[in-house]
Each structure stands twice: as C-alpha cells, then as structure tokens.
Amino acid sequence: MRIVVVEDEDNTREGIIRLIRKIDNRYEVVGEADNGADGLEVIKKTTPDLVIADIKMPQLTGIEMLERLKESGFRHKSVILTGFSEFEYARKAIRMGVVEYLEKPVTADDIRTALAKIDNELAIEKWVGYPGGDPAVHAERLLARLSLQDGPEAAVTSKVEQAIGFEPNIPLQILSFYLGHDFETRRQSVRTEISRMPGPHRRLVLFDLPSDRSVTAVVQSGTPESEFGPMLRTVVVAAFGSWERKPVLCWGTIPDLSGLKDGLVRLKECRKWSIVLNQAQDLNDQVVREIQAKVLPYPATLENKAAAAISEGNRDEVRRIFRLWLEGCLADAYDPGHVIEASVRFVSSALRVLGEYHGDARSYDRQKEWLNALMEAQTKGELILAMETIAEGIVSDIENSLVALPHSPTLQKAIRMIKEHYQDGITLEEIASSLRITPEYLSSLFTKEVKKTYSSFIKEIRIHKAKELLLRSEMKTFEIAGKVGYPDAKYFSRVFKETTGLSPGEFQRLNKS
C-alpha cells in the first residue's frame, strides 16, 4: 500500500511514518508534507493508495485539500487526524467518504487497525474491479458476486470474510430459498421472515439472486450441522407454514466463502429433487444421498398414443395423455434429471407429429420456449405448469389447423407437402408414397374433400405464386416459371393464360399499372 502523510507537526508526522514502516514492510510511505498546499502537490505527483492528513494545517486544511483532490478525480483512501475539539470537522470528513478518523495522540494500535481496515478494502475493491466503500455495508453485493463467479485468492476471501464480520475457522451455512415465478412479489417477505431467524447465529447476511429467482442467506451460527437442521425446520415452518406456495429451501455447510459458488451449485442440484418429493421439505446433500432413487422406465406406449391423438386431431385425448404422463413421472422417487430428459423426449416427439399434421411453423416457433420451460423446471409445480402449457398449446394449434383446413388429417398433410414442394415438381405418387397410401386413394380424397383433382389443386397453387412474383419481384418470366415448378417457360405461359386469360406479361403490365 502506497501512503502519503500530511501533518504540520514534525514530531507527529515523523512518528506516524516510523510506525507505518514498523507495522509491515508492505506499507510504503511515498511522500510527506507539512501543509495542505504542498500535500496537494505531493499527492498529485505520487498518486498514493492512502492519504493520512491532519485536519488543521497552514495554507489548506486537511478537509480543503481532500475536497480539491476529490474534485480532480482522485479516489485514494483517506484517514483524518483530529483533536478532541475538532469533532465537527471529523463529522464533515466522514460525510465526504473518509475511511477513518484518528484522535490525537495517535497510538501504534490506532495506526495498525486503520491500515488493516484499508488494506482489506483495497484488496476487495481490486477483486471487485471498482471502489466499493465499506465492505460491511456492501456485504450483500460482495456475496452475490462471490456466488456467481469464482472467488478471489484465499487471502482476499479471508479479507472479505473479515470485513463482512464472519469469524475465522467457523463454518458457514448457506440457505437458498427458491421462489420461482413468485420471486418479484415474495422476495421481500422472505427476507423479512429470514432476518428474524432465531438461534445463536453470530452473523447473517441475505442477498437476492434474480437470475436464479432465489433469496440466499449466509449464516455463521457455530451450531453443529446435526443441530442446525432441526432448528432450521422449526424456523421454516413458523415463517412459511401458512403460505399456499412455500419457498423451496435447500441448505448446506461450507468451510468458508471460497466455497460459496460451488455450494450454491450443489444446492441447485438438490433443489430439483423437489420435483419428485414433497416441495415443502427442506433439502440438503444428506437428504438426497439417502433417497433410494429409481430409474424412470420410458413409457413408449404413451408417446405412441400421443402421436395418434395429435395426428387424428383428438384434443381431449391429447390432454388425457399428457395428464397420464405427469402421473407416471411423479408416481415415485425417480431421478429428476431422468424425469426432465424423458419429458423433453416425449414433448419433442409430440411436436414433431404436430408439425407433420397441423403445420410446421406453429410448432417450431414455440418449440424452444416450451422445451426451455421443461429443462429449467426446478420444482414439481413448474414441471406440471410446463407440461400443461405445452398440452394446451398443442390443442390450440390443432384447433387452429382444423379451422383453417377442414379436411382429414391425411389430406391436410398432403396439402402441406404440396405447399412446401410445389416448386420441385412433386407428384401425386411421391406424396402418396410418403403418406403410405395408394395414389388412387389420395386422388379420391382430393376429389371428395377439396372438390378438385390433384393436378388442378397444384396448378392453382403454382399460378397463385406466379402472380405474386410477377407483381412483387423483378424476376423474368422464365425465372418465375422455374421458381413455381415449370421448367419449360413456354408451357408455363400457356398454362398461365389458360388459367387467367392473360399472358404473364399482360398480367404484369395491367396489374402493375
């Protein structure tokens, strides 16, 4: 730490410098001055980490000197030396952000304590990356940062603990209260309840993790883990027993703050067990280890039934199959990871069938949103909500498809294939083969349900697209012919005129004008 001492009394200034050099060789006095004006210049030249200054000095007082430095953008730490009668000056210094003020005569212990405090703050600020003020005041911010990234070196972690007020060599308990969708509306209530937590805890710090939708408490109780668990359950029941949707509590023990991030990762893994266990139960590593987890047997029969219900447009059956799926997944203590993986597989299959029979665009647009909700489910309630939302979304897409295309599922799929591949010259035989039916049967479906032959239907689609291109593009007629599935431009022009009564060029000139 680089230090400048500004003090008009020579004996006091020299005594402080000697004390600093004796305390620790890491503390380096890089400049000194006997008045505020010279101190200003010395500080600007040496840019120290710490300025120790007397309040009353010739030319510029310590307060005036520090104010000018602050206005110039200097952000060093400051310690003010004051006499008993100068307390009002000291109060002003503190309001300016001075770290500490020391009353004369200054002792070695005074200097040692002040330097240790500032050393801690500088180490923490260097790790954080910006000036953070008093770490004890900003404990929440520091712990939130520690929980989201790898911690600093052990020496800095120790300084963070000391600055926040945690005692060395006493383990910490971490409590994660997961609120999910209730995070914004309930987090303050949770903080209020937990801050009242009784027990012999020496220090408790709460902080929010919005990205995880949870409130975390770091507690130093000194209570053995075997006793802390029962005490915690009593507190949780008293605090949240009347809540309809209780927070999911996971807790564990870490030796010190260097283990905070990894500890919270472990708690998040524990939390997922609330999908298959009682959500109100508090979870920790020991509880999870004692679970006789079972492997979920994948119910392929339900997947096949869901596919049949979707392809047939049977909405009530779709809902019923999804309910059966949830009942099966939640019937026993299956590994929650397996439950989520199986659910993603089941839904992916359902969406694939939905796309084939009721339109690719709708199912693909929402596939990411639906599957993400499944993969991010942390509780039983979130899994159920995700599956119910997907089931209703599939039902809605089926209803919209049936309104838009009042045909049988087989013919709906044939029409989609035509719309997707008309430009490739797709034939009736190719479509029938893909649908595993005979060309004759497919032809009869067109005649019966569309009241047109296959060739008439695909011709209408091609001519409709050709009209769009003639009016909205700068493409030549031969380019448009190839674009809509007619390799021969002359044949295209003849078909176009037979259908519209105009040649492509006449249609373009008449409608564009």
pLDDT in tens, 426-479: 899 999 998 888 999 899 988 888 888 999 888 988 988 888 888 778 888 999
In a shared domain, residues 354 and 438: no
In a domain, 291, yes or no: no
Q: What is the residue whose two structure tokens read 């809509």?
A: 484
Domain boundary among 374, 404, 434: 404
372 contacts: CB under 8 Å, gap ≥ 6: none
In a domain, 292, yes or no: no
Q: What is the pLDDT of residue 88?
A: 60
In a shared domain, residues 362 and 257: no
Q: What is the pLDDT of residue 144?
A: 82
In a shared domain, residues 255 and 324: no
Phi, psi angles (nearest 5°) of residue 217: -120, 135
In a domain, 152, yes or no: no
In a shared domain, residues 382 and 462: no
Q: How far is it, in rounded angstroms, from Cα 247 to Cα 228?
A: 19
Q: How far is it, in rounded angstroms, from Cα 45 to Cα 33?
A: 12
DSSP state at residue 150:
-
Mean pLDDT of the chain: 83
Mark 168-194 as b/e (b = at least 16 C-beta within 10 Å).
eeebbbbbbbbbbebbeebbebbbebb
Both tokens of 91, joined, read 């109060």
The pLDDT of 384-409, averaged and rounded, is: 77
Both tokens of 74, joined, read 């200097």
Nearest to 137 by CA among 116, 158, 164, 156: 164
In a domain, 185, yes or no: yes
Q: What is the pLDDT of residue 127?
A: 64
Q: What is the residue whose two structure tokens read 């600020």?
A: 125
In a domain, 149, yes or no: no
In a shared domain, residues 443 and 396: no
Pure H helices in 313-453: 315-329, 336-358, 360-375, 380-404, 409-421, 428-435, 439-445
Decide if 251 contacts 281 (C-beta within 8 A). Answer: no
The total number of structural domains in the chain stands at 4
In a domain, 313, yes or no: yes
In a shared domain, residues 494 and 474: yes
Q: Which domain holds residue 225?
A: 164-284
| H or E element at residue 208 | strand 203-209
Q: How far is it, in rounded angstroms, from Cα 463 to Cα 479?
A: 14
In a shared domain, residues 392 and 419: no
Q: What is the residue whose two structure tokens read 């000197």?
A: 65
Radius of gyration, alpha carbons of the chain? 37
- The pTM (predicted TM-score) of the whole model is 0.61
Burial of 341 (0-12, 13-18, 19+ CB in 10 A): middle
C-beta pairs of 342-347 under 8 Å, 24+ apart in sequence: 342/296, 342/298, 343/374, 343/383, 343/386, 343/387, 344/371, 344/374, 344/375, 345/298, 345/303, 346/302, 346/303, 346/306, 347/371, 347/374, 347/387, 347/390
pLDDT in tens, 82-118: 875 555 655 555 555 565 778 888 888 988 988 888 8
pLDDT in tens, 450-461: 888 999 888 988
- CATH code of the domain in which 493 resides: 1.10.10.60
Q: What is the pLDDT of residue 89?
A: 59
The least confident of 368-377, 404-413, 431-440, 469-478 is: 404-413
Of residues 446 and 235, more confidently modeled: 446
In a shared domain, residues 273 and 171: yes
Evaluate the CA torsion angle 299, 300, 301, 305 in order and state its sign.
Answer: positive
| H or E element at residue 18 | helix 10-23
Q: How far is it, in rounded angstroms, from Cα 513 to Cα 504?
A: 14
The least confident of 74-78, 348-352, 405-409 is: 405-409
Domain boundary among 223, 251, 284: 284
Q: Calculate the CA dihedral of residues 52, 55, 60, 63 and round it to 10 degrees.
A: 80
In a domain, 156, yes or no: no
- CATH code of the domain in which 10 resides: 3.40.50.2300
pLDDT category, 194, cuts 50, 70, 90?
confident
In a shared domain, residues 87 and 187: no
Q: What is the pLDDT of residue 177?
A: 93
Evaluate the CA torsion angle 207, 209, 214, 219 in order and state its sign.
Answer: negative
Q: What is the pLDDT of residue 403?
A: 47
Domain boundary among 104, 128, 152: 128
In a domain, 142, yes or no: no
The least confident of 44-48, 148-152, 286-290 is: 148-152
In a shared domain, residues 331 and 427: no
In a shared domain, residues 450 and 435: yes
206, β-bridge pairs:
217
Of residues 138 and 451, more confidently modeled: 451
